[in-house]
């Protein structure tokens, strides 16, 4: 066989997302894991699920079955070892196969920075943790940087900033995340920068934060005449402390409050009534409701690769969301809370552990963190149909 | 007879790879007790027993060894 017998997550991302290819994937995890979380591309993918133990039991039969379905494969498993074993068997049987290095774990840890906007020395970057559908942000102005919703993979942000010679001056989280561990407090500590997150009433935050009030305007930059403002907008609902950050009056880092195709679910805390009412007020009566239609939403998650635009950015004009999202068109608080109640579904059990860890001051082991973070985020409210009447 | 296969510290596919080889040496009334530290082995052993009609998964247990490492124990037998 020519070339490498491996493909890295970044190389796979380039093929699936940047170039929009649809290579054949052979997922060798067990059927339950495959059903729960799999690789997605911009285009529908040919995926075959043949667990690796079928290649231990009957290598000839399994290899023949795969060869019959296609002549070139990327093998995928949980951590990249079983898929390497399977790819080797396939190659021995004359079928072209490469192994995804690090498997789904590494796929879920891949972060790809994509530039959203640049004007002079102001830049806004979206850091796409594609496999999990998690988005974080870096705002750069005049040599200073603010990071919003950092994951625990601090090297991603530290390398990015070092390459641009930018100094990290502040770290912000939009809320206490339930689906992934925040790296915000630790990133801030390592840079000697202040960290801010609001847990909201009813929660005790064990992390050292610099409290900032609703309506605060943070100034970033200044050197070389470039300075921009980041405004805080309290947006209780998805969590009681949820905060949106309005960058330069135009880009809304909306956390899990607004997504490009809907809104964040208010039921993760088990209080769908109270948090649902708060969310209705945030969306219909609070400062978010008064933002101009031209504001661009930059959320903390996406649910499907279809939400990426041609440049690979997940963004949407607020006016377009207002015109189409059924959740934003429910006219009364009662109808809204009803719809949210109807959309309640049990979150993954591990979310309680992640919330607790994100509130606490301590850290969790790498092994635990990796295990907790497996899978795609489930933070969006799934309201199935348009409102009646 | 109960035979113990120590697959602690081994990553997949090795626990199942070795378990299959061991099972082939056992009689129908013997039990193979597999010790593994890879958490993925729990679901994988279940999936394996479901798809391989010669393998029976009798039960699974989780224990903690000294030092805090979690050990997943799988009891297997061979079906004719």
DSSP string, A299-325: ESB-SSGGGS-TTS---EEHHHHHHH-
Residue A22: CB partners within 8 Å, gap ≥ 6? A16, A41, A43, A44, A45, A46
Helix (H, G, I), strand (E, B) or coil at A90: helix
Label residue B60 by pLDDT band (50, 70, 90).
very high
**Which whole number is the average pLDDT over B18-47?**
94
Q: Give the DSSP letter of residue A290.
A: G
How far apart CA A63 and CA A59 sit, in angstroms, is 6
Query: Both tokens of residue A289?
Result: 């409701």
Q: Do B13 and A82 touch (CB under 8 A)?
A: yes
Mean pLDDT by 10 residues, chain A (389 residues): 78 96 96 93 92 96 97 96 97 97 96 92 94 97 95 97 96 95 96 94 85 85 79 95 96 97 91 94 93 97 94 96 91 93 90 93 87 89 51
Please, which residues 10-49 of chain A have a Cβ atom closer than 8 Å to chain B? 30-33
ipTM confidence: 0.94
Whether the CB-CB separation of A198 and A208 falls below 8 Å is answered with no
Q: Do A57 and B13 touch (CB under 8 A)?
A: no
Averaged pLDDT score across all residues of chain B: 94
Q: How far is A71 from chain B (nearest CA, A)?
A: 24
Q: Annotated catalytic, A379?
A: no
Among residues A77, A134, A244, A379, the one annotated as catalytic is: A77
Q: Do B46 and A30 touch (CB under 8 A)?
A: yes
Considering only the C-alpha atoms of chain A, give the largest distance between any 2 of them, rounded to a whole number of Å.
Answer: 68
Please, which residues 3-62 of chain B have a Cβ atom closer than 8 Å to chain A? 11-13, 16-17, 20, 39-40, 43-44, 46-48, 51-52
Whether the CB-CB separation of B34 and B26 falls below 8 Å is answered with no
CA proximity to A238, closest of A185, A300, A148, A317: A300
Residue from the list B11, B16, B39 with its beta carbon closest to the beta carbon of A53: B16
Each residue of A150-174: b (16+ CB within 10 Å) or e? Answer: bbbbbebbbebbeeeebebbbbbbb
pTM given for the model: 0.92
Query: Both tokens of residue A174?
Result: 């939009």
Strand B2-7 relative to strand B31-36, pairing: parallel
Q: How far is B12 from chain A (nearest CA, A)?
A: 6
Mutation site, A53, A79, A101, A368, interface B, largest B CB count within 10 A: A53
**pLDDT for the residue numbered A223:** 61
Query: Both tokens of residue A336?
Result: 């809204």
Using CA coordinates, name the residue in chain A closest to B10.
A81
Each residue of A83-94: b (16+ CB within 10 Å) or e? Answer: bbbbbebbbeee
How far apart CA A169 and CA A176 sit, in angstroms, is 21
Q: Do B51 and A79 touch (CB under 8 A)?
A: no
Determine contact: A82 vs chain B, CB below 8 A: yes
**pLDDT for the residue numbered A388:** 35
Q: Do B13 and A371 touch (CB under 8 A)?
A: no
Chain B residues with CB-CB distance to A79 below 8 A:
11-12, 40
CA distances from A184 to A42, A150, A190, A268, A359 (A): 30, 5, 10, 21, 12
Mutation site, B19, B51, B57, interface A, largest A CB count within 10 A: B51
Residue from the list B11, B16, B43 with its beta carbon closest to the beta carbon of A79: B11
How far apart CA A144 and CA A170 sit, in angstroms, is 9
Question: Half-sphere exposure of A109 toward its Cβ, with a 13 Å CA cutoff?
Answer: 19
Q: Do B13 and A85 touch (CB under 8 A)?
A: yes
Q: List beta partners, residue A26.
A: A48, A75
Q: Do B43 and A30 touch (CB under 8 A)?
A: yes
How far apart CA B35 and CA B53 sit, in angstroms, is 22
Percent of the residues in chain A that have a pLDDT greater than 70, as a whole number: 96
């Amino acid at each position: 066989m020519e070339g490498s017998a491996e493909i890295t997550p970044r190389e796979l991302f380039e093929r699936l997302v940047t170039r929009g290819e649809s290579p054949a994937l052979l997922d060798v995890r067990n059927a339950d894991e495959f059903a729960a979380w799999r690789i997605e591309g911009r285009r529908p993918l040919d995926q075959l699920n043949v667990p690796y133990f079928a290649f231990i039991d009957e290598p000839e039969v399994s290899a023949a079955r795969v060869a019959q379905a296609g002549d070139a494969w990327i093998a995928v498993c949980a951590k990249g070892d079983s898929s390497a074993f399977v790819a080797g068997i396939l190659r021995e049987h004359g079928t072209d196969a490469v192994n995804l290095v690090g498997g789904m774990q590494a796929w879920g840890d891949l972060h790809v920075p994509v530039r959203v906007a640049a004007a002079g020395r102001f830049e806004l970057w979206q850091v796409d943790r594609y496999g999990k559908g998690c988005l974080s942000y870096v705002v750069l102005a005049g040599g200073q940087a603010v990071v919003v919703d950092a994951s625990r993979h601090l090297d991603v942000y530290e390398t990015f900033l070092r390459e641009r010679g930018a100094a990290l001056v502040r770290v912000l989280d939009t809320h206490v995340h339930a689906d992934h561990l925040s790296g915000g407090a630790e990133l801030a500590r390592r840079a000697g920068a202040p960290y801010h997150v609001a847990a909201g009433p009813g929660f005790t935050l064990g992390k050292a934060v610099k409290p900032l009030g609703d309506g605060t305007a943070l100034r970033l930059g200044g050197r070389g005449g470039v300075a921009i403002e980041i405004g805080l907008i309290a947006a209780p609902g998805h969590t009681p402390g949820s905060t949106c950050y309005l960058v330069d009056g135009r880009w809304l880092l909306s956390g899990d409050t607004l997504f490009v195709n809907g809104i964040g679910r208010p039921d993760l805390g088990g209080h769908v009534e109270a948090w649902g009412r708060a969310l209705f007020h945030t969306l219909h009566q609070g400062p978010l409701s008064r933002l101009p239609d031209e504001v661009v939403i930059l959320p903390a998650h996406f649910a499907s690769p279809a939400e990426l635009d041609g440049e690979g950015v997940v963004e949407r004009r607020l006016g377009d969301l207002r015109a189409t999202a059924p959740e934003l068109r429910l006219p009364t608080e009662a109808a809204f809370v009803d719809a949210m109640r109807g959309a309640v579904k049990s979150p993954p059990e591990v979310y309680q552990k992640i919330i607790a860890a994100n509130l606490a001051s301590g850290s969790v082991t790498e092994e635990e963190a990796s295990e907790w973070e497996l899978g795609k985020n489930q933070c969006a409210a799934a309201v199935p149909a348009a409102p009646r009447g | 007879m109960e035979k113990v296969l120590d697959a602690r510290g081994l990553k997949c596919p090795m626990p199942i790879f070795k378990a299959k080889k061991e099972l082939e040496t056992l009689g129908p009334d013997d039990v193979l007790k597999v010790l593994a530290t890879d958490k993925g082995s729990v679901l994988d052993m279940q999936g394996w027993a479901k798809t391989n009609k010669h393998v029976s998964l009798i039960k699974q247990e989780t224990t903690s060894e000294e030092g805090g490492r979690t050990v997943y124990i799988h009891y297997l037998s061979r079906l004719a």
